[in-house]
Amino acid sequence: MEKFRESNGLRRRVLVVDDEMINREILGNILNEHYEVTFAENGRQAYDLLQERDKKYSLILLDLFMPEMDGFEFMEKLKSKGETNSIPVIVMTSEKTAEVKSIKLGAVDFITKPYDMPEVILARCERIIELYEDKSIIRSAEKDGLTGLYSKDFFFEYIRQIENYNQSDSVDAVVFNVERFKLINELHGRVEGDNILCRIADIISQDLEGSLGIGCRVEADTFYVYCYHKDNYDDILELLRQELSELSQIPKVRLRIGVYSNVDKEIRPENWFDRAKAACDRIRGDYTQQISYYSSEQHERELYQERLINDIVKAIADKDLRVFFQPKYDIQSDKPVLKSAEALIRWQHPEFGLISPGDFIPLFESNGLIQRLDNFVWEEAAFRIKTWREKYGVTIPISVNVSRIDIYDPELEEKFIKILDRYELTPNEMMLEITESAYADNANALIGVVKNLREKGFRIEMDDFGSGYSSLNMLTTLPIDVLKMDMKFVRNMNKDEKSMKLVELVLDIAKFLNVPVVAEGVEEESQLSALKKIGCDLVQGYYFSKPVPPDQFERLIEKEVK
């Protein structure tokens, strides 16, 4: 900042207040080379100068004994006014007895008369100005301008200072978040949004008053609180709920609270609030609860998931990710005939062992990595189709999953065409499974993608039909070639009449659409017989084979071609 001022010709302004002209001239000669100096003959005149809004002063050099308004009265008046009480004052006096009273009124230093050491006077002025400018910068950065709570950096620094003296007491890290705050600003205006934030800050401050605890506003709609351990936070949640309902015309401003209780003091304070925020984020959109407590089990789960995310690229390169194949059999022939297969991903992790797809597929769907996984499966499936055709002289079509993330990929169709060209396949040799969740997310986008793919010759399977509320609606708008019945129907079909009727209903729908049905999860002879009797076309399940690696699937092919 000093270099910036020097290079741009900026000079700080100093106010010299002394009733003796000779003293003003001496100080002016000392200071003029370095500062813009303004003079006043008494306290009243000096006070009037400070009211001029176009002039800002960096330092006041003040004589104590003057007519009209002396230095003591001037400092009292200066101290009472918010705009001027931050200007540092150096008292000029030879009266030692005046120093204590001057300090109590806010003086920061003293210059002894007579002024016979110009270098010392300049050095003291420079030091005081720099100290107070630094203090002003710190003060402006210390607090959030809207709510008056601490800013994030100062919040964590103060926690570290407190913890130096408070290592034995149990404390909590708490995160408050206003649900869908951006929409509140957009619909009701920023003023209304700011009122809500300020009221939350006030209540947090009141709750912390008189106790070991501090708060900060870390983001537009997020607050952090460091405080003594509490068994629950229902009371402050209820207070916030009541106050906000009275303050705001917005119906049901919803707060979420995440708590990391009895923090581990062996880790950094920033990590405490990462954990509290993770607990808070876990109930985002969940209107059944508003307070979530962080647990060690949750922490271990998050670490495990983060490891999986970090390891996926290496897993593909090291072939820890493998594609298994589960056969589908035509059961309407005299004996079941192998007709096709479904490609399913498996992960043999070097540290965690065999990982369930239920652990990593939803995780990768949530962060977009599922595309990398799907592309790997598509390539492997295409390679096996070609390999088995050349080796056994038969084509085994393979179904691959197209996730809802893939639907938004503008290069999806081109990717499939390139894979087919690379392995010399036709579109009907690779079947594409679409789940209901993709339809629920964006029906129009899915319909457009499916129509384009079918025009290129691909066959579309509707996976897990009947598992969700939009399955029937999908059938009215989405063109499909195969219907895969959710395995829950098959599992219960021989247990009660209602389940059997649902299976029959699915088959009737398929007949009306003139598409075959694949029944998943067939494990028993009785299920197979019942499905064959009522006209189901294809089945897959443990009755014939669990998902197996390529070498074991080849044995199933060999049985067919003998």
Across 252-261, 343-352, 370-379, 451-460, least confident range:
252-261
Helical ranges in 105-149 per DSSP H:
118-142
* CATH domain 2-141 topology: Rossmann fold (3.40.50)
Helical ranges in 341-411 per DSSP H:
357-367, 370-392, 404-407
Q: Quick one: pLDDT at residue 140?
A: 61
Q: Could you tell me the pLDDT band of residue 532, with boundaries at 50, 70 and 90?
A: very high
Q: Could you tell me the pLDDT band of residue 471, with boundaries at 50, 70 and 90?
A: low
CA 562 to chain centre: 57
pLDDT, greater one: 137 or 378 = 378
Q: Quick one: pLDDT at residue 9?
A: 46
Q: Quick one: pLDDT at residue 298?
A: 77
Could you read off the pLDDT of 481-527 as tens digits, one per residue?
999 988 888 888 888 888 889 889 889 988 988 999 999 999 999 99
Q: Could you tell me the pLDDT band of residue 106, with boundaries at 50, 70 and 90?
A: confident
Q: Quick one: pLDDT at residue 16?
A: 93
Q: Which residues contact 471 (CB under 8 A, 6 or more apart)?
A: 436, 462, 465
CB contact at 8 A, 482 and 452: no
Could you read off the pLDDT of 186-204 as tens digits, one per residue?
666 677 777 888 888 888 8
Q: Quick one: pLDDT at residue 185?
A: 63
For residue 166, pLDDT over 80 is answered with no
Across 78-87, 134-143, 273-282, 551-560, least confident range:
134-143
- Percentage of the residues of the chain whose pLDDT score is greater than 90: 38
Q: Quick one: pLDDT at residue 184?
A: 66
Q: What is the mean pLDDT of residues 77-82?
A: 78
Domain limits of the chain? Answer: 2-141, 152-294, 311-554
Could you read off the pLDDT of 333-349 as tens digits, one per residue?
889 999 999 999 999 99
CA 53 to chain centre: 44
Could you read off the pLDDT of 209-222 as tens digits, one per residue?
877 789 998 878 89
Q: Quick one: pLDDT at residue 154?
A: 85
The CA-atom distances, in angstroms, between 350 and each of 299, 308, 320, 548 are 22, 11, 8, 19
Q: Quick one: pLDDT at residue 553?
A: 96
Q: Quick one: pLDDT at residue 522?
A: 94
Across 118-122, 203-207, 306-310, 494-498, least confident range:
494-498
Q: Residue 424: left (phi > 0), alpha (psi -120 to 50), or beta? A: left
Q: What is the mean pLDDT of residues 454-476?
A: 78
Q: Could you tell me the pLDDT band of residue 550, with boundaries at 50, 70 and 90?
A: very high
> Treating both helix axes as pointing N-terminal to C-terminal, what angle do 118-142 and 152-163 enclose, rounded to 10 degrees?
100
Q: Name the CA dihedral angle for 130, 133, 134, 138, rounded to a multiple of 10 degrees.
A: 170
What is the pTM (predicted TM-score) of this model?
A: 0.61
Query: What's the rounded Cα separation, in Å, for the pair 76 and 106?
Result: 8
- Token pair 């800002």 is at which residue? 56
- The 3-class SS string of 51-89 reads CCCCCCCCEEEEECCCCCCCHHHHHHHHHHCCCCCCCCE
Domain 152-294, CATH homologous superfamily name and number:
Reverse transcriptase/Diguanylate cyclase domain (3.30.70.270)
Across 163-167, 383-387, 397-401, least confident range:
163-167
Q: Quick one: pLDDT at residue 5?
A: 43
Q: Which residues contact 347 (CB under 8 A, 6 or more apart)?
A: 315, 320, 321, 322, 354, 355, 357, 360
For residue 7, pLDDT over 50 is answered with no
Could you read off the pLDDT of 338-396 as tens digits, one per residue?
999 999 999 999 998 988 888 888 888 888 888 999 999 999 999 999 999 999 999 99
For residue 148, pLDDT over 90 is answered with no
CB contact at 8 A, 229 and 262: yes
For residue 468, pLDDT over 90 is answered with no
Q: What is the mean pLDDT of residues 128-152?
A: 77
* CATH domain 311-554 topology: TIM Barrel (3.20.20)
Query: What's the rounded Cα separation, in Å, for the pair 90 and 111?
Result: 7
The CA-atom distances, in angstroms, between 558 and each of 342, 512, 545, 561, 562 are 18, 36, 15, 5, 6
Q: Could you tell me the pLDDT band of residue 6, with boundaries at 50, 70 and 90?
A: very low
Q: Quick one: pLDDT at residue 391?
A: 94
First to last CA, the chain: 87
Query: What's the rounded Cα separation, in Å, for the pair 235 and 348?
Result: 48
Q: What is the mean pLDDT of residues 114-130?
A: 86
For residue 469, pLDDT over 60 is answered with no
Query: What's the rounded Cα separation, in Å, for the pair 479 and 468?
Result: 18
